[in-house]
Structure 1
Amino acid sequence: MNSAVQTTLAVQVARLYYHQGLTTGEIAAELGLSRPKVSRLLSFARESGLVEIRIHDPAVQPQTLAGQLQDLFSGVEVQVVGVPPGSAEDEWLGRVAHAAAATLDTLLRPGMTVGLAWGNTLDAVSHALTPRRLGGLDFVQLNGSANIQELVSGFVTDTLTRFARNYGGRAHLFPVPTFFDDPHTKDMMWRERSVRQVLDLQGRADLLVYSVGSPHAGRPSHVYAAGSLDDHEKAELDQLGVVGDIATVFFRADGSWKGLPINARASGPGLDFVAGHPNTLCVVSGLGKVGVLQAALRGGLMRRLLVDEPTAAELLRRIEEA
């Protein structure tokens, strides 16, 4: 095996092992190698400096999916996660979740405040975290979830507390409705001292972590599947050209969000805040999210994107055909 081929293969193995959490046996099966060969390639990757805190791939070219997306959307750092050929979307989400967990380990520092938008994707990330103690971390819920179904299931609180326990930090829940019936009720609630404390913590967040929500995902985003929106509200969103949301705040296909009545009732942070934040991580997986991801990129609603390979490829295909 010549040195160029060995280097390329070692990088591929290192990504699967360190970023996606596969065992040497799983990597061997996926790449058609023996387990001793995988071990030797991992050793080579470490000894030759390909692996430090992060994986450095000297063969990365501008024409990779990540490079193409970064060329199209300047200012967005993109990481594309490879998946096994022919694998199901649940497998893609698992790979992306492990990669997101590894990325968080490089971003988090003691004393940081992290804003988390709950949902299926971040719940998957919370299960992929590797225990690590960091002093003084605060994890604050970005959007409300107070309804009977959520209180019974514990879905949102479990996600937040799982992040906090993993890093030895504190979870700050946001016990308000996902959507208020009347924007005036929200205005009144926002004046309450206990609510203001959470809102102030959100406003001081050093990092925002979220996905994009879509009713068309293989697993419809939690806000659409959990009864937070009735049929009339869903029809109204369709009529207004809404394609999805971030932290239950909605936007259109062109990435705009101004003038949408439901956002005045939403408990999530304003998208001006998200778009203007200097440190954000958006985690996306699944072909059903391609449209809403494209809209979010058009709207400048992320600084850092982590996405699976098939979804990234489909996004580029749609852009090229437009």
Structure 2
Amino acid sequence: MTDDQAALAVQVARLYYHQGLTTDAIARELQLSRPKVSRLLTLARRTGLVEIRIHDPQAHPQSLEAQLHERYPFLRSHVVSVPPGSPETVWMERVAVAAASVLDSVLRPGQTVGLAWGNTLDAVSRVLRPRRMDNLDFVQLNGSANALDFMSGFVTDSITRFAQNYAGRAHLFPVPTFFDDPATKRAMWRERSVRHVLDLQARADVLLYSVGSPAARHPSHVYISGALDPADLAQLEIEGVVGDIATVFYRADGSHSGISLNARASGPNLDLMTQVSHAICVVSGLGKVQALRAALAGRLLNTLVTDEPTARALLMPEEGSNGFRPSRE
């Protein structure tokens, strides 16, 4: 879109939305055809020049957003309505579309976006609306689970889908999710090719990720891919772990230092999530509520995209933990 097109689209949008003129009236006033006016209105909405918000004081999502802000004043929340009685697969579909819209609204030319691969971000990557933006970098935040996953395209396709959607650059991170030895990780982190990715992660303007939980109805990919063995899972339970972000683990209070497996993990220090303007966490499903509550306790996000049932469960009094055991559902 050229500057002239943008200016004309804004002018049309102001006449339509602010002054209430019909498309016919706008066409006459600006000496344009009615189809061109309609195309300019569509362009204004698609490119973010116009954002449509519905403010309904009786609406459940808005009420839940207000309650979340009261409990977590630092949090910007987006609660998505879902059909009553619908399955969690439908919740995820709705949340993915909302997350794609939230990402679209915060992106600016020249930014670096950190992405933590997984089932949730894969779903988001599939519903992005094509939009070209200058000089965007999309960087993978954690290594692929294993060589098989990296070659299968599960990880690489998700990351490159984001980059291609915005005509940006994809920076993959072809290292293991977990190293066998912390010393191997330290050595790899000194390699120039790896340092390039780490430097991009450190200067990210936007982060997009979910919380991982073995208790989810569809357990996070890392728990079912073979990256963790039974001894690893047992140690995580001993250390009080309730979830992970970008395969870096944290406890019920949101703390993450001193957890033994993190010394071998390829994901970033979770302090990164507290240092960016847009740390967008996308969560759907009741099995992730405990992990989400813990992430909020540690302020490991400042923007949340979730569904109504998950938001309601988050606001309920906390129940006892079932331990760090993968769901059998």
Give the shorter-chain TM-score range.
0.7 to 0.9
* Alpha-carbon distance between aligned partners in 1 of 2:199 and 2:320, rounded to the nearest angstrom: 43
* Alpha-carbon distance between aligned partners in 1 of 2:99 and 2:295, rounded to the nearest angstrom: 19
How far apart are 1:59 and its partner, in Å? 2.7
The count of residues paired between Structure 1 and Structure 2 equals 274
Contact 1:241/1:252, CA 8 A, preserved across alignment: yes
Contact 1:149/1:226, CA 8 A, preserved across alignment: no
1:47-93 CA distance string (max 9 Å, x none): xxxx9414141537898111111111121111110000000000000
- TM-score w.r.t. structure 1 length? 0.81
* Alpha-carbon distance between aligned partners in 2 of 1:180 and 1:187, rounded to the nearest angstrom: 10
- The corresponding residue for 1:219 is 218
- The corresponding residue for 1:294 is 293
CA RMSD, Structure 1 to Structure 2 (Å): 2.2
- Secondary structure of residue in 2 paired with 1:282: strand
* Alpha-carbon distance between aligned partners in 1 of 2:56 and 2:91, rounded to the nearest angstrom: 25
Contact 2:62/2:79, CA 8 A, preserved across alignment: no
Evaluate the alpha carbon distance shift between residue 320 and residue 260 of structure 1 in structure 2; reply closer, same or farther with a 3 A threshold: closer
- Secondary structure of residue in 2 paired with 1:84: coil
* Alpha-carbon distance between aligned partners in 1 of 2:242 and 2:164, rounded to the nearest angstrom: 34
How far apart are 1:261 and its partner, in Å? 0.9
* Alpha-carbon distance between aligned partners in 2 of 1:279 and 1:83, rounded to the nearest angstrom: 25
How far apart are 1:151 and its partner, in Å? 2.6
* Alpha-carbon distance between aligned partners in 2 of 1:179 and 1:275, rounded to the nearest angstrom: 23
How far apart are 1:258 and its partner, in Å? 1.4
Contact 1:179/1:266, CA 8 A, preserved across alignment: yes
Unaligned runs of 5+ in 2: 1-48, 322-329
How far apart are 1:239 and its partner, in Å? 1.2
Matched ranges for 1:19-168 at <5 A: 52-57=50-55, 59=57, 64-145=63-144, 147-168=146-167
- The corresponding residue for 2:270 is 271
Contact 1:146/1:175, CA 8 A, preserved across alignment: no
* Alpha-carbon distance between aligned partners in 2 of 1:125 and 1:283, rounded to the nearest angstrom: 9
Partner letter of residue 216 of structure 2? A
* Alpha-carbon distance between aligned partners in 2 of 1:198 and 1:54, rounded to the nearest angstrom: 37
* Alpha-carbon distance between aligned partners in 2 of 1:250 and 1:289, rounded to the nearest angstrom: 14
Partner letter of residue 240 of structure 2? G
- TM-score w.r.t. structure 2 length? 0.79
Partner letter of residue 53 of structure 2? I
Unaligned runs of 5+ in 1: 1-50
- Secondary structure of residue in 1 paired with 2:317: helix
Rg larger in structure:
2
